[in-house]
Amino acid sequence: MSRIWVLGAGQLGQMLKHAGMPLNLDVRPVDIESEDTFPLQAHEKVTAEREQWPETAATRQLAAHPAFVNLNTFPILADRYTQKSLIDKLGLATAPWQLVETDTSAESLHEALGERVLLKRRTGGYDGRGQHWLREPGRDAIPDDWHTQAIAEQAIDFDEEASIVGMRGEDGQCYFYPLTLNLHVDGILLGSVSPLARLAHLQDEAERMLTTLMNDLDYVGVMAMECFRVGDHLLINELAPRVHNSGHWTQAGANISQFEAHLRAVVGLPLIAPSVKNTSVMVNLVGTERNDDWLSVPGAELYWYGKEVRPGRKVGHINFCLSNPSDTQAALDKLEPMLPASYGIVLDWLRSQLN
Ligand code: ATP
Ligand code: MG
Ligand code: MG
């Protein structure tokens, strides 16, 4: 049995483990805070479910392992400065940006990037944490400790947000899932739908961009690219060198989930173009208590992460992949009263995409 070590034991690590079972792959998520050491064998592959980690006995041991797949990619993509520099170097479209240097002033950022400027911490941000808006030229200031630690981006007046999850094998062959349409509220992903016929004309552009990036990095495994759709074009928002929340629908909607695809790539098993079933939707469960009634909704596939529930924390998701959009609509109708009222926006948005 092949054993694969995963740096990180959050929900992504757990779902990788789950996906390894049918293939008899022994996936071992490792808690990044652990001060233990682990019995890694020289031939066993190491992968990660996150792009950054603290220095602990566990992470030092895993990161020093010669078979850590994509080890060099993590520092490049974990820092928005090097990530955006890479996107620019490859000539790919992204929101105009610059580094916030020691002597950068808010005025100079507005002059270069426009009225609305979004500061993003270079490292450690997720779910919209680590962001700071400068919206009122002359009034809003750059926080003191953000100099050299942040980039500044032009606000993009996008039509909507989409992402693509792709995979690349050791032989350089790339495959992709169809574009996913995503709803983010206050920086947190709340819902996804894929595939959508009306996005199909953007698929080639998305695949070209992500292929260029994965080839340049000589990347092996699953990578996600978050984009803004502006008219008929995509701008890259950010990249994740791992399985991604916007690809969770593939657990229900494709013959190979993103988790299995990543494992296959990492251990050198065959990759193929995933065969996608019907249009899937995913509802993220954020800061909400578990409700077993969700399981009574036709078609609902619940993943509950078993984490302590805290406001704004991702604690689970529900996938649907029904053969008929009207069945999905009916399922979402049934789900609605079982969720806090704040989910109305998400369910309305999902239903509107299925019309
Ligand atoms: P994630 O949890 O996806 O890793 P994150 O905290 O790394 O999120 P981003 O993806 O960079 O942050 O931004 C979060 C959200 O903020 C985006 O999905 C989008 O809704 C909004 N956003 C980010 N950059 C811009 C921009 N330049 N203009 C307008 N909105 C933006
Ligand atoms: Mg991010
Ligand atoms: Mg993001």
The CATH number assigned to the domain holding 294 equals: 3.30.470.20
Q: Are 114 and 168 within one domain?
A: no
Q: Are 169 and 288 within one domain?
A: yes
Q: Is 313 in the pocket of ligand 1 (CB under 6 A)?
A: no
Q: Are 33 and 137 within one domain?
A: no
Q: Which residues contact 308 (CB under 8 A, 6 or more apart)?
A: none
* Angle ∠(156,210,347) on CA atoms, nearest 5: 55
Q: Are 195 and 324 within one domain?
A: yes
Q: Is there a contact between 105 and 256 (Cβ–Cβ < 8 Å)?
A: no
Q: Are 110 and 250 within one domain?
A: no
Residue from 237, 243, 246 whose mutation best tests the ligand 1 pocket (most atoms within 8 A of CB): 237
User: The tokens 């808690």 sit on which residue?
Assistant: 31
3-state DSSP assignment of residue 176: strand
CA of 240 to the centre of ligand 2 (A): 7
Q: Is 156 in the pocket of ligand 1 (CB under 6 A)?
A: yes
Q: Which domain holds residue 215?
A: 160-354
**Domain for residue 126, yes or no?**
yes
Q: Are 265 and 301 within one domain?
A: yes
- Of 238, 348, 355, 186, the closest CA to residue 283 belongs to 348
Q: Are 126 and 164 within one domain?
A: no
130 is in an annotated binding site: yes
**Domain for residue 271, yes or no?**
yes
Name the domain count of the chain: 3
- pTM of the shown model: 0.97
CA of 288 to the centre of ligand 1 (A): 22
Q: Are 185 and 321 within one domain?
A: yes
Q: Are 115 and 247 within one domain?
A: no
Q: What is the pLDDT along the chain (355 residues), one digit of tens a residue?
A: 799 999 999 999 999 999 999 999 999 999 999 999 999 999 999 999 999 999 999 999 999 999 999 999 999 999 999 999 999 999 999 999 999 999 999 999 999 999 999 999 999 999 989 999 999 988 889 999 999 999 999 999 999 999 999 999 999 999 999 999 999 999 999 999 999 999 999 999 999 999 999 999 999 999 999 999 999 999 999 999 999 999 999 999 999 999 999 999 999 999 999 999 999 999 999 999 999 999 999 999 999 999 999 999 999 999 999 999 999 999 999 999 999 999 999 999 999 999 8
Quote the pLDDT of residue 1.
76
Give the phi and the psi of residue 129 in degrees, each rounded to 5.
Answer: -75, 150
CA of 189 to the centre of ligand 3 (A): 8
Q: Is there a contact between 252 and 285 (Cβ–Cβ < 8 Å)?
A: no
User: The tokens 């009916």 sit on which residue?
Assistant: 330
**Domain for residue 88, yes or no?**
no
Continuous segment of H or E residues that includes residue 111:
helix 106-113
Whether ipTM > 0.90 holds is yes
Count, residues in the chain: 355
Q: Is there a contact between 262 and 47 (Cβ–Cβ < 8 Å)?
A: yes
- Of 156, 152, 155, the closest CA to residue 109 belongs to 152
C-alpha distances in Å from residue 305, one per residue of 26, 222, 252:
20, 21, 17
**Domain for residue 87, yes or no?**
no
Give the phi and the psi of residue 269 in degrees, each rounded to 5.
Answer: -80, 160
Q: Is 128 in the pocket of ligand 1 (CB under 6 A)?
A: yes
Quote the pLDDT of residue 355.
86
